[in-house]
A and B are shown apart, each in its own frame.
Chain A
Amino acid sequence: MILLNLLQKDLEMIIAAIIGTLGFCMFFNVKRDKLIYGCIGGAFSVVAYFACVELGMSLFAQNMIPAAIATLYAELMARAVKAPATVFLIPGVIPLAPGGKLYDTMRAIVDGDQANAKILGQETVVIALGLAVGVVLVSVVFYQIRNKK
């Protein structure tokens, strides 16, 4: 229900992000036959992101949960297709990177808007942290499994 609602509302954004992910895969020279897997990872994280926003989660959780999902996908794909997890992970998390916030922060600094700059700067850091924690949570688990063998 939420998902359907979401798909109607943010469809344009989701499609834009998925095409952007495709572009990013090409930017980092992912092999041609793996491009589609990268896009699917991006789609997962972007849909999860909008779902989390819809559910009114905190800024940290909004980024942590999609990052964790994208990492889970990447680690599973790495086992299924026998390629390094990075190949699927980087495209998966790229729609979450705080490019917009970073720009806003700098804009506020240039405009001399100290109060806003501080808030936006903090938000940028929180997004980056959420992203990293999401990725790390899942990849640490996989790392432990791999090393137990």
Chain B
Amino acid sequence: MCEKGVDYNAGRVLESALDIGEAMLLSGAEILRVEDTVRRICQAYGGGSVDVFSILSLIIVSWKDQKGENTTLVRRVYSYATDLCRLEQLNALSRDICENTPECDDVEKRVEAIMSSPNRKISRKRFVGYVLTAAPFAIFFGGNMRDAVAAGIVGALLYLWDFIFAVRSKNRVVYIFFSSMFASAVCILSVIAGIATHADKVMMGVIMLLIPGISLVNSLRDMMIGDIMTGILRLAEALMMSVAIAAGFGVAIMIFRSLWGV
């Protein structure tokens, strides 16, 4: 443990603060939380004044500590997703750092431990999550039991689809378009195969897995708290994704209609 305010390397501290900030963005934290965390960590180690600016894809931080040393770092963030378990762990970690100011190597290891939790392994919890989201919402939107079963199956297939393709895709909008097309094609097939009775109810359940409701809510929250820039970025993304979802199943419906007339 380094002694507070005396023994620290500003560059290293800033780096580990940015590691946490980046990890938070990757887990779907609000921008305000990211900026706040970076600021607090810097201040816990060396005090002074900290300027942080962050959008979804970039964190800029400039720190002038009590010794009068200026340090500036920029971190580009290339992708982000929502993983509330990681977010919670990171939040606890940053609280701990601010209280105990541990060595930077230690911080780095702990961030890595949180972020390296297996993404490339089939997770039973997430699989169940996909199925348990799609099936009940098919009923919620007015479908019957058979629709729910079909939605569950489509949810399971969508999990495999995400598992195979999600990591490789950089462009979320195009990815969502193809996911939505795939999902609706399977939904229509499930009706042709005689599992479900209403293709639209099955589809409504499955859409809940794709819909950017979180982006939308977060974007308006960001804007109301005063972070207009991030809010607009997120809003634009949410709108693009809604259009992509709609276009995806639109295309799927049209293909089936022209081929089979269903």
Contacts and interface: CB of A to CB of B under 8 A. Distances in A.
Given A16-B140, A97-B211, A99-B208, A27 B129 contact: yes
Contacts of B87: 84, 86-87
A20 B250 contact: no
Q: Which secondary structure dominates chain B's binding surface?
A: helix
A135 B128 contact: no
Given A16-B136, A23-B129, A94 B208 contact: yes
Interface in A82-124: 83-84, 86-87, 89-90, 93-95, 97-100, 102-107, 109-110
Given A24-B129, A29-B85, A128-B216, A99 B207 contact: yes
B84 A87 contact: yes
B116 to A, nearest CB: 14
A140 interface: yes
B141 A99 contact: yes
B245 to A, nearest CB: 7
A3 interface: no
Nearest to A24: B133
Given A20-B208, A86-B87, A107 B253 contact: yes
Interface stretch (B4-12, B52-60, B217-225): B217-225
Interface stretch (B25-33, B42-50, B165-173): B25-33
A30 B86 CA distance: 8
A135 B220 contact: yes
B140 A102 contact: no
B63 interface: no
A86 B84 contact: yes
A16 B201 CA distance: 14
B133 A93 contact: no
B83 A29 contact: yes
Interface string A121-149: 00000001001110110011001000000
B204 A103 contact: yes
A61 interface: no
Interface of B: 28-30, 33, 82-88, 91, 123, 125-126, 128-137, 139-141, 200, 203-205, 207-209, 211, 213-214, 216-218, 220-221, 224-225, 242, 245-246, 249-250, 253-254
Interface of A: 12-13, 15-20, 22-32, 34, 83-84, 86-87, 89-90, 93-95, 97-100, 102-107, 109-110, 128, 131-133, 135-136, 139-140, 143
7 contacts: A17-B136, A24-B129, A31-B88, A83-B91, A93-B217, A94-B208, A139-B225
